[in-house]
Amino acid sequence: MKILEIQSLGEWHDALVHLRFSAPDKFLVGGAHEWAPDQSQALSAAFERLKSNLQFVRKKLKNDRMLRVIEELIAMSFEAFKEGDERRGSLILGEIEGMIWPSHKMPVKHAPEAEQRVFGQLELFAGVRISPYPLDGDAADLGSDQATLLNLAYRYTRHYQRTQQPFRAFAWVIDDTGAISRTSAEPKEDDHPILQPVQRSYGYKRLKELARNNRIRACVLVEGTLLGEAGSICYNLEQRGRPKLWAAQAYSRVGGKLIYEAMRFTLRDSDMFSEAD
């Protein structure tokens, strides 16, 4: 199977997210709207694509030891999928994403093992507490504000998909009065008031500032990723006094029809609101 080239760090990120939601056996043939006939070969090719294009990650991190840890984590994730441990394989890919992009940061869980495997001793992760998170969750773990924001965000992401409108990020917040505002430039069809200044990019830092300054009690940051005919939508749901809930749904377009996987819920440490909140 031909390994597709990656031209930028953004494309590397898309390939990582796509792998996370396609592994181990939901890969499509690029542009053919059909399932890949050999899913095992497609899995190997997807991991090789990440490994062979780490130069973009090296340029961003500027830390050769961390890069080797990430390379080992990629190998560990592949091992997990090949051994049938889909949960571990997926969580490791999520941890890699957070190590490169702080807005996606996950609790440290597998990186110390990777560093130990490569170097025989810990340096980057010496003394780091292994978090009990992430934990599997479900819709019952949603707080009332989280549920409200998920329903709102879900409505618009589905609308954009049905009408085939591209999007990268949506965001809404709830203040202490219970009022909902939008902080993202889109969706323009939404009639909630916009909390100025409007964000035109991912907007993670903006939401964190609002939370730490006690201007909001809950927020949702939605990100859509598309690679070929498959993609995922991730809903990062935060509510003061509750764990962060990460809800994600993979989808693919086969034969012109959108097919959705079941939504996955993961509990994580809050990174918008401090424990003191």
CA distance 59 to 67: 10
> Maximum Cα–Cα distance for the chain, whole Å?
56
Q: Which residue has the higher pLDDT, 27 or 89?
A: 89
Q: Which residue has the higher pLDDT, 58 or 276?
A: 58
CA distance 19 to 81: 11
Name the token pair of 124: 């980057």
Residue with token string 């997210």: 17
CA distance 258 to 252: 6
pLDDT in tens, 6-54: 999 999 999 998 898 889 998 887 655 678 899 999 999 999 999 999 9
Angle between helices 39-51 and 9-22 (to 10 degrees): 150
pLDDT value of residue 2: 54
The neighbouring-strand residues paired with 181 are 173
Domain ranges of the chain: 9-131, 137-268
Please say whether the beta carbons of 237 and 149 come within 8 A. yes
Name the token pair of 144: 């009332």
pLDDT in tens, 174-228: 999 999 999 999 999 999 999 988 877 768 888 989 998 999 999 999 988 765 5
pLDDT value of residue 276: 40
Tell me the pLDDT band of 277, cut-offs 50, 70 and 90. very low
CA distance 238 to 146: 7
Residue 196 burial class via C-beta count within 10 angstroms: exposed 0-12, middle 13-18, buried 19 and up = exposed
Name the nearest CA neighbour of 112 among 98, 94, 130. Answer: 130
Q: How many residues does the chain have?
A: 277
Q: What is the DSSP string of 41-79?
A: HHHHHHHHHHHTTTHHHHHHH--HHHHHHHHHHHHHHHH
pLDDT value of residue 3: 58
pTM of the model: 0.66
pLDDT in tens, 103-143: 788 878 999 999 999 999 999 999 998 877 778 899 999 99
Query: Residue 56: is its pLDDT beyond 90?
Result: yes
Name the token pair of 22: 């396609």
Geometric angle at alpha carbon 213, from 207 and 216, rounded to 5°:
55
Name the token pair of 52: 């062979």
Count how many Cα atoms sit within 13 Å of the Cα of residue 2 in the half-sphere of its side chain: 5
